[in-house]
Structure formats: structure tokens, C-alpha cells
Structure 1
């Protein structure tokens, strides 16, 4: 028998409606506390996941921009060193 259960029994050991009411109130309070704790935990986890996703997106975006800049530089270098070939490729792509 739990301490709460022992505390609400009368001296004769009988359980009354008042005893049951007290037990139900303790149960309601425990459920409310548990619900609040789960809500706070869920909010913290959601914020953590959001922050991790934003960081990853930022990292991937930075890497993509770096690759795009490098590709553009290579294309510009190719056009400078081989303009006739570049014009031929552009004409072929146009058709």
C-alpha cells in the first residue's frame, strides 16, 4: 500500500468516498504534471531538431555556393583559354 493510500484510509481501514476523491485528485495532479513535463520536453526536442536542420541547411548551402563559384571560374578559364571551342560548344548546345 502506498503512502498516499495509507494516508487517506480512516482508522478503521475502510475506504470512504472522500478517500477516493482525495486519491483521484492526487492522480489528476500527477497527470497534469506529467503532461506539462512531456510538453516541455517535446518543445525542447523540437527546437533542437530545428536548430540542427538549420545548421545543416546552412552548411549545404555554403558548400553548393562554393561549388557553383568554382564551376563558374573553370568555365571562365576555359572560355579565355579556348574561345573557339567554347563558341562551338555554345553553338552546339543552342541547336
Structure 2
């Protein structure tokens, strides 16, 4: 009779362990699913933040390029006015610049 009671206790313990392992397996699967969903949500958030940052950078680039164009136009207009007002000085400066460029180029 003692052996029968021991065998029944072992079977009960084995059945309990199997139930616990099954429960643990389900809990681990649920945890993995939750972690995957959380990672996907964070990935989406990061993607949206990166997209917003890219849009802002693109807009600032467009604004900077337009500002540079306008400043270039203004500089060309000022240079044109200066050359028209002082044509002799403009020719002298251009000749000097050509002379210096020629000297630098001939030394190489």
C-alpha cells in the first residue's frame, strides 16, 4: 500500500509540474507577444519622429537655399552697380586679379 500511495503522489506531482510548465509556456508566449507589440509601437514612434525631423531639416534647407539665392542676387546687383559707377577701377581690379592668378598658376 505504501508503494501505491508513493506512486499516486509521484503521478500527482508530475501532473502538477506539467500544468505549471504549460502555464509557464503560455505566460512566456504572452510576454513575447507583448514585447513584440511594444517594440513595434516604439519603432513606429521613432519612425514618425525621424520623419518629422527630416521634414523640418528639409524645410530649413529650402529656406537657407532661398536666402543664399537672394543674397547672391543682391551681391551681384551691388557689384554691377559698383562696376557701372567706377568702370576704370573695375578693369584695374580685374587685371590685378588676372595677374595674381597667372603668377600662382605658373608656379605649379
The gaps in structure 1 that reach 5 residues or longer are: 1-13
Q: How many Å separate the matches in 1 of 2:91 and 2:61? A: 37
Please state if 1:33 is matched with 2:53.
Answer: no
Give the match for residue 50 of structure 2.
46
Query: Max radius of gyration: which structure?
Result: 2
Give the match for residue 62 of structure 1.
66
Q: How many Å separate the matches in 1 of 2:58 and 2:23? A: 53
Which of 82, 85, 88 is matched with 2:86 structurally?
A: 82
Once superposed, which parts of structure 1, at least 4 consecutive aligned residues long, lie more than 3 Å away? none
Report deviation, 1:25.
1.3
Report deviation, 1:22.
1.3
Q: RMSD across aligned C-alpha pairs, in angstroms?
A: 1.6
Report deviation, 1:54.
0.3
Give the TM-score of the pair, scaled to structure 1: 0.82
3-state SS of the aligned residue for 1:31?
A: helix
Give the TM-score of the pair, scaled to structure 2: 0.72
Q: How many Å separate the matches in 1 of 2:93 and 2:39? A: 65
3-state SS of the aligned residue for 1:16?
A: helix
Give the match for residue 102 of structure 2.
none
Alignment length, in residue pairs? 83
Report deviation, 1:46.
1.0
